[in-house]
A = this chain, B = another copy of it.
Amino acid sequence: MTIQTALAELSSLLGQRLTRSKSDLDLHGRSETHFPLTPPDAVAYPETTDEVSQIVKICAAHACPVIGWGTGTSLEGQAQAFQGGLCVDFRLMNKILRINPEDMDVAIQPGLTREELNTELRATGLFFPVDPGANASLGGMASTRASGTTAVRYGTMRDSVLGLEVVLADGRIIRTGTRARKSSAGYDLTGLFVGAEGTLGLITELTLRLQGQPEAITAAVCAFERIEDAVNCVIDTIQMGLPMARIEFVDADAAAAFNAYSGSDMREIPHLMVEFHGSEQGVAEQAESFGAIVADHGGQGFEWATTPEDRTALWTMRHHAHWAIMASKPGCRSIVTDICVPISRLAEAVNATRADIAASPITGPILGHVGDGNFHAILLFDDTDPAQVKAAEDLSHRMVERALAMGGTATGEHGIGVGKLKYMEAEHGQAWGVMGSIKQALDPQNIMNPGKMVQNS
């Protein structure tokens, strides 16, 4: 078997850093969500870019699939080894290579996690802002084009990656981008590999844009009787040009789940959670302007969390939302939806989703990064009840259809993986074929994360 020949050569190259134990294979065949176990044939733990290049060359010679692995926190089964092959786990490539405080950038290896990076940056006055919730690896975050609560202010991984080192499907090592802040020199390959989910190559180094730690931070929470009041408040805030660092929506069901899980006493109606970053004076001014907009839209129970402890409590509650919601229906499984729509259609999209869930036999609290028009319903279902499973799948499907009809996208931040592949044609039309042509050009043997992203792969 050709994969077996590849594994023998890889074993010579890596020694103990190639593993085939069942526990390790199962660990790398698992996903955070509802996809089946699909273990790879082996797991490699490279230490250098040259080693990654040699690994890919061996795999290319034997047509062995190559699947990158960060921390395993992707939500759409991006790292599932459908066709077996080699999982390349980047945990040993987790160094910070260079911090450049004057240029506000950092070069890192892909296995470093965002929390590890921010811990190291603490003394520099800088931080890396992209925060998808999970303590994901930065290589994985780039590959999924992750974002999260702070994208409304600081952008997504697309905006935060200045350059990459990539090992291509034939083992060639390339560098994309420069350390300059902008360039008009050629095709934007950095942007092409960000979000490619490992289907065009393996990222072995990233240069990331950093931000200055704000002098002052303030956060607040407020409640609204109706979803549209909360959303219109967000639209006005954006139009005023108030530079929110985060603006998160939670619906009545999510507020109820928080209360039950964290012992909070939120009214069980829609809420906004907001954070401002800036100078003391700037943050105070933004807070005042935001308070006036909230009042205009009938917001209630407006409360500032000015101490670090109060802020931490607020965002910890938000970050634990998934667990709070899972705890609200013990034993249930979940589908986490991820649509993103133009903000003018957001209230309509949330209301239609709420009504659709209410008419179904299951529950599904809603949370959203509403400054971007991105929201998630956590659809909870008993997987022993076929009617509930079908209801969850149908709700998820209708959410995507609704998003596409509104000019939005099937996935704002979780990516395509296995779960969203079936929507690529509907979302992109003939442009999906162009993606296939690019894949074919860069990976003609289809060994890089095969079965993902493009047609017939």
A residues engaging B (CB < 8 A)?
Answer: 100-105, 125, 144-147, 151, 156, 158-159, 168, 172-176, 178-189, 191-192, 194-196, 200, 211-212, 214-215, 235, 238-241, 243, 278-279, 281-282, 285, 289, 338, 340-344, 372-374, 403, 406-416, 420, 423-424, 427-432, 434-435, 437-438, 440-442, 453
Contact = CB atoms under 8 A, between A and B. Distances in A.
Given A176-B431, A374-B180, A412-B182, A440 B438 contact: no
Contacts of A438: 187, 192, 438, 441-442
A168 B431 CA distance: 10
Contacts of A414: 184
A172 B104 CA distance: 42
A407 B180 contact: yes
Copies of this protein, total:
2
B416 A181 contact: no
B430 A173 contact: yes
Nearest to A284: B281
Given A188-B194, A239-B212, A181 B435 contact: no
> Residue among A174, A342, A427 with the most chain B CB within 10 A?
A342
A184 B412 contact: yes
Contacts of A340: 178, 180-183
B437 A441 contact: yes
Contacts of A191: 158, 188, 191-192
Contacts of A430: 172-174
B281 A412 contact: no
Nearest to A232: B102
Given A180-B342, A182-B412, A412-B182, A434 B189 contact: yes
Given A420-B185, A440-B441, A180 B412 contact: yes
Contact of A409 (B145, B185, B432): B185
A182 B403 CA distance: 13
A105 B341 CA distance: 13
| A159, A279, A338: most-surrounded residue (chain B CB, <10 A) | A279
Nearest to A191: B191
A262 B403 CA distance: 54
A229 B289 CA distance: 37
A180 B285 contact: no
Given A194-B188, A430-B172, A182 B125 contact: no
A49 to B, nearest CB: 13
A350 to B, nearest CB: 14
